[in-house]
Amino acid sequence: MRAGFKVPAHSVTTRNLGAAYPLVAEAGLGHRGVLVGHDLLGGSFVYDPFELYAAGVLSNPNMIVFGQIGRGKSSLLKTFLWRQAVFGRRAWVVDPKGEYAGLARLWGVRPVALRPGGEVRLNPLDPVAARRADGILDDPDRRQCELLASLASACLGRPLQPRERAAVDLALASAKAARAVPTLPQVVEALLDPDAGAAAGISTDRERLLEDGRDVALELRRLVAGDLRGMFDGPTTHGLDLSGPLVVLDLSALYASSALGVLMTCATAWLQAALTQQRRRGAFAFLVVDEAWAILANLGVARWLQASWKLSRAHGVANVAVLHRLSDLSAVGPVGSEQVGLAEGLLSDSETLVLYAQPPGEAGRAADLLSLSSTEVDLLPQLTRGVALWKVGTRSFLVRHVVSPAEQALVDTDRAMVEPR
């Protein structure tokens, strides 16, 4: 270089720099929110779905976190919720592995532990508080019907036939006539002993209506009288403290159950209802379903989950689901099938995607669905633990999640592998 040759320094705002060097110099998402970690292309990465929604960057606050086992999905969520507590944000967590107890301790609350024959009962038919979102009224009756139909279809392992669906609707109506907040045993009873008047209303007779609803009743009965009884088969236990900043539903006693998806659905339905009833005006909350792949494994239940996500904005709730593989959503059906439509729906209702490492091939298969560039597809299998590709609306960030020493005990799920308890 010739002595004396100097390139004058050039100052530019991050907004202009971002435009001049897209992807190389992302302008970031602003500074309103919690620090997640380092943006690997420079700077810190700060994120808050409610702030971004208010600023018009996102059109919904929901988030899906994908990643292979042990990549740091739950760690991200635990620290994220803890950091959000500073802003008074509440969090409600469906915890199938029982690993949010440390977070609960920090917050000074006790997880609600569910097990067959345990002390706590939750009624999945507790109604949500009705609110309007985008012109659609969140109809509590409709939600209960959808939930029952989804549970029945998950238990049966197939979609309900129209006559079964009608039997469920009528049984729910008859249970509600007897009691404002119905329970699953009442619905099963009404399915097995239908009302002649209700049958006449759909031009059939009692015997035929009983036959139409019998398979559904026998499957739902498992939650009421079978091996899963004692958790979702009565009014919600009195005295549960839901006023704290964090509510954790510990389902670890059920993790090995073949009905995990159904049980998580009941738990999620109850949480949604309780959260909407408890919500304080202007207070935002996160509803986290860790290991949500167990719910999405069943088409009927996945449909219910998607419908309930749609209405979350009206309640100031950001839904967060954790999945393992992109194909938990996408490769479950042929192109144009209902499964793929459902995956697209859930994705369009979740404008933040956090993608930890995926096996080679997975990313390629889901590239279209997730609008991944070819660089991003190549990158995904190479991401190391704690590093994720964040897709926030139309923008992409490569982020290393930073765990502070004080938070280490919260996230250390590996310890059980090396230290005897």
Ligand X SMILES: Nc1ncnc2c1ncn2[C@@H]1O[C@H](COP(=O)(O)OP(=O)(O)OP(=O)(O)O)[C@@H](O)[C@H]1O
Q: Output the residue with the shortest Cβ distance to Mg ion.
A: 74
Only segment of 36-44, 56-64, 70-78, 392-400 that touches Mg ion (CB under 5 A): 70-78
Only segment of 10-18, 55-63, 69-77, 358-366 that touches Mg ion (CB under 5 A): 69-77
Select the binding partner of residue 69 from Mg ion, ligand X, none (C-beta < 5 to 8 A, by kind). ligand X
Looking at the Cβ atoms of 79 and 350, the one nearer to ligand X is 79
Which positions touch ligand X (CB under 6 A)?
Answer: 67, 69-75, 385-386, 401, 403, 411-414
Looking at the Cβ atoms of 24 and 416, the one nearer to ligand X is 416
Looking at the Cβ atoms of 209 and 363, the one nearer to ligand X is 363
User: Closest distance between Mg ion and the C-beta of residue 320, in Å?
Assistant: 12
User: Closest distance between ligand X and the C-beta of residue 364, in Å?
Assistant: 21
Strands 352-355 and 387-392: antiparallel
> For residue 247, which phi and psi values (nearest 5 degrees)?
-125, 125
User: Closest distance between ligand X and the C-beta of residue 148, in Å?
Assistant: 30
Cα-Cα-Cα-Cα dihedral of 50, 396, 398, 292, to 10°?
A: 60
Looking at the Cβ atoms of 99 and 189, the one nearer to Mg ion is 99
Looking at the Cβ atoms of 36 and 224, the one nearer to ligand X is 36
Site for Mg ion in 74-133 (CB under 5 A): 74
By CB under 5 A, the count of residues binding Mg ion is 2
Find where tokens 């439509």 sit: 341
User: Closest distance between ligand X and the C-beta of residue 77, in Å?
Assistant: 8
Contact call for residues 299 and 159 (beta carbons, < 8 A): yes
List of residues contacting Mg ion (CB under 5 A): 73-74
